[in-house]
Amino acid sequence: MNPPKNQSTVLITGCSSGFGQATAELFLARGWNVIATMRSPQFDRFEASERLLITALDVTDAQSVSAAIAAGIARFGGIDAFVNNAGIGLFGAHEAVSDDVIRQVFETNTFGVMAANRAIIPHLRERGAGTIINVTSSAGIAPMPLVAAYTASKYAIEGFSESLAYELALFGIRVKIVEPGFSPTTRFTFNSGERCNNTLPTAYVEHAGRYMKSMQTYPTAYTTAQDVAETVFEAATDDRDQLRYPAGADSQMLAQLRRSLPEHEFIARIRAMTGSDLSVSMHANTKLVSSARWVVRFRDASRRVRVCIPRRREPATWAAKLLGLLLVQF
């Protein structure tokens, strides 16, 4: 049976799990043709459909990006929306993060996204219509501590997307930014590999502990993959001249705070929310981890983490492992 070519078509990167998978499923459910891409195709992630094409795409490989776009056009006749969702995480004190690791993060989160945008633009320009959606992070609204390089990689795409929106509007192409909040139910952190090893020196452990504690009483619900999928769909189908779309209650809260508070009040609020208050000593307290058992509960998320930290292990290493469960998706 020939696939339908008279329906809208979306290409989405990073569909193996989390936001990308949920977004692909939502677009399929709402009648779109979907090109679901991932570095290593996993065909069991979705139910078979004539409106679904699963193919390989690695945003750090220009030939891979071009091949996926060509395959989607050949299958469905054209692409109407292009969603850059693929990304990797990084947390830790900046002084402990190597240049090589920072470059790895920028290759995927920044340079890869820019290259993917460049690859799809000629097709959309020739069609005289289309939407590019770059998925960044609530870090683009409110940077958090211990994710400085990750935040920089997302901030770059915020500025890039805004500039590109003016550039491409002349050709009928809309550019949108979706800014997800923290999502503990996805596998984003676990997909971050070994980059986060040894990135939390002992001097930062006390602050990290306060940050973890503050996460237990966060003032809103956290972001779900469904929140992000719904927001991406809204951006793809919204004809308004709107650039940024916070996704999830926590991201929406941060956007509201940023808009409504003077800068000094906003900074004070973020410090209080993240255990970064200057009135609290920032010196490491190794007792925090040397005999510790931290239990972290996530509000409105079906996940609880209990981590026991052995006395003989290096405090910074074990603190970093737990911190990785918490911080990287801001």
- For residue 196, give the DSSP letter: G
Handedness of CA 147, 149, 152, 157 (dihedral sign): negative
Select which of 150, 204, 211, 222 is catalytic.
150
Counting Cβ atoms within 10 Å, is residue 47 exposed (0-12), middle (13-18) or buried (19+)?
A: exposed
Tell me if 23 sits within 8 A of 232, measured CB to CB. Answer: yes
> CB under 8 Å to 190, separation ≥6 — which residues?
none
- Known catalytic membership, residue 155: no
> CB under 8 Å to 162, separation ≥6 — which residues?
175, 177, 243
Numbers of helices and strands, H then E, in the chain: 11, 9
Q: Helical H runs in the chain?
A: 18-29, 62-76, 99-106, 113-127, 148-169, 205-215, 225-237, 249-260, 263-273, 287-290, 315-326
Tell me if 34 sits within 8 A of 52, measured CB to CB. Answer: yes
Counting Cβ atoms within 10 Å, is residue 107 exposed (0-12), middle (13-18) or buried (19+)?
A: middle
**Of the candidates 200, 198, 195, 196, the residue with the CA atom closest to the CA atom of residue 104:** 195
Phi, psi of 48 (to 5 degrees): -60, 140
Say how far apart CA 136 and CA 7 lie, in whole Å.
Answer: 27
Q: Helical H runs in 177-224?
A: 205-215
Q: What is the CA radius of gyration of the chain?
A: 20
Token pair for residue 261? Answer: 């508070």
Active site residues: 150
